[in-house]
Amino acid sequence: MSLTVCILASSSKGNAVYVSSDTTAILVDAGISARAIEQRLEEIGVSPGSIEAVCLSHEHDDHVRGVPRFHQRSEAHLYANSGTMEALQRAPKHRGLPWNIFTTGNPFCIGDLEIDSFSVPHDAYEPVGFVIRAGSVSIGIATDLGSPTHLVRERLRHCRMIVLEANHDEHLLLEAERPWPLKQRIRGRQGHLSNDQAAEFLESIAAPKLEAVFLAHLSEACNRGDLAVGAVRASLEKSGHSHIRIALSYPDRVSEIWRPGALMAATAAPGHES
């Protein structure tokens, strides 16, 4: 049994991650339009109708924007914890949707995928990251968190691949023409990880088993791909983990595709073909 991961979109404009086993395909978040989700799935050879479920990390619009329409078009099941569901119910477009409620910290299954959620520090009602397993392979997703807590470290420590936020470069954020309260929110313990924080976090949990890292949620105004990759690569090489491959995610196109032992261009179809 194997896992396949492709980040369909990642930024403050929208986030969605495709994860599949040999028989089950899901999305983690659906923060871009349903049409964009469908187009990007088809780009990687995946039928939108094969998506069995959407699992939500939290209620912010850049993670849920496409949920109602995608659910309507695909009939994918919707999963959220009670805090996220209750927050979403405040918006008319999310009322009446058929939610499957999971309890943070209690694993649940969708098909042959085992999904374990864990709390992350972020300014939402009940935000979570996920560890997703198929057989002996596990991957971790933590795209919005202000600080790398001990719990986050322990949950992601044994993953083969990790999707981790590297939101901003500290210097670019401080120099940006943004209100100071917004800068404080981003830099706060419930905001977003900087490149250096992401690098230090990965250095602290890196192990021979970790194959690849996707850097996610990069700020278009306060970060650059080369700065994020450079910071992470320097930390990993310093700690003797130069074997770990580092990839980027993008706001407007799909990432590379990860499967155990391989990182390939997005033109390679990962299964669940249309």
Which CATH number belongs to the domain containing residue 205 in this structure?
A: 3.60.15.10
59 part of a folded domain: yes
77 part of a folded domain: yes
Asked whether 173 and 186 are in contact (CB, 8 A), the reply is yes
pLDDT band for position 273 (cuts 50, 70, 90):
very low
Domain that holds residue 253: 4-260
Instruction: Please give the backbone phi and psi of residue 126, each rounded to the nearest 5 degrees, phi first.
Output: -150, 65
Is 70 exceeded by the pLDDT of residue 21? yes
Structure tokens at 146: 């202000």
Least confident piece of the model among 36-45, 56-65, 256-265: 256-265
Q: Specify the pLDDT at position 176.
A: 80
187 part of a folded domain: yes
Angle CA 221–66–84, to nearest 5 = 90
Note the pLDDT tens digit of each residue in 91-135: 888 888 999 999 999 999 999 999 999 999 999 999 999 999 999
For the chain, what is the domain count?
Answer: 1
Type and span of the H or E element at 55: strand 51-55
33 part of a folded domain: yes
Q: Specify the pLDDT at position 270.
A: 53
pTM comes to 0.94
268 part of a folded domain: no
User: If you average pLDDT over residues 73-89, what whole number do you get?
Assistant: 96
274 part of a folded domain: no
Note the pLDDT tens digit of each residue in 180-231: 888 888 888 888 999 999 999 999 999 999 999 999 999 999 999 999 999 9
272 part of a folded domain: no
pLDDT band for position 267 (cuts 50, 70, 90):
low
User: If you average pLDDT over residues 18-41, what whole number do you get?
Assistant: 98
137 part of a folded domain: yes
pLDDT above 70 covers a percentage of the chain that reads 97
**Rounded Cα distance, 234 and 80, in Å:** 36
Q: Specify the pLDDT at position 182.
A: 82
